[in-house]
Amino acid sequence: MKGKMKLKQNSFLLLVTILLFFIMYGIGCVLFNAQGFSKTQNFLNLFISNAGLIVIGIGMTIVMITGGIDISVGSFVAMGCMMLAWMMEKGGIGAVPAVLIVLVTGIVFGLVQGFLVAYMDIQPFIVTLAGMFFARGMTAVSYTHLRAHETDQYLV
């Protein structure tokens, strides 16, 4: 029995996820083979077109494996996208500085939430719920300011 290796719970979950991915891809290849689903480039396109979702999914997987919870992720992604749109359209800021500003904003956002959970001992669900509402509100404000004078430009 010494040679037998025991599978940890985290490794098991990762193995099940990878196995399910390939099973679903195999089913897709069988069902949609006529449309070219089984081509190598189509397989790579799954990763290329979903790169942002994959990064978010990996981060959320780490959070969940460690026993935490974060429900503010989607709202912050929306807020970051609106910040980028506002900075590049109305603010006259280039793409690279705008992305850097959003990244710094995300780091600060995460540090504040992490501080509240780790050092202030506030429940993660409550902290991330507040973060979700904050990010949703900022998204709405950004959208309102982005579209505020949209009708004025057609009146001139």
Q: Is the pLDDT of residue 130 over 60?
A: yes
User: Per-residue confidence at 126, pLDDT binned at 50, 70, 90?
Assistant: very high
User: Per-residue confidence at 9, pLDDT binned at 50, 70, 90?
Assistant: confident
Residue where the block lists tokens 């540090």: 111
Q: Is the pLDDT of residue 43 over 90?
A: no
How far are the Cα atoms of 42, 140, 147 from residue 85, in angstroms, in the given order?
Answer: 30, 13, 11
Q: Is the pLDDT of residue 5 over 70?
A: no
Q: Is the pLDDT of residue 142 over 60?
A: yes
**Stated length of the chain:** 156
∠ CA 26-30-33, nearest 5°, is: 115
Structure tokens at 113: 């939430």
Alpha helices in 32-149 (DSSP H): 40-49, 51-65, 73-89, 95-118, 124-146
Give, for 24, the enclosing helix (H) or strand (E): helix 9-31
CB of 84 closer than 8 Å to CB of 98: yes
* CA distance linking residue 133 with residue 146, whole number of Å: 20
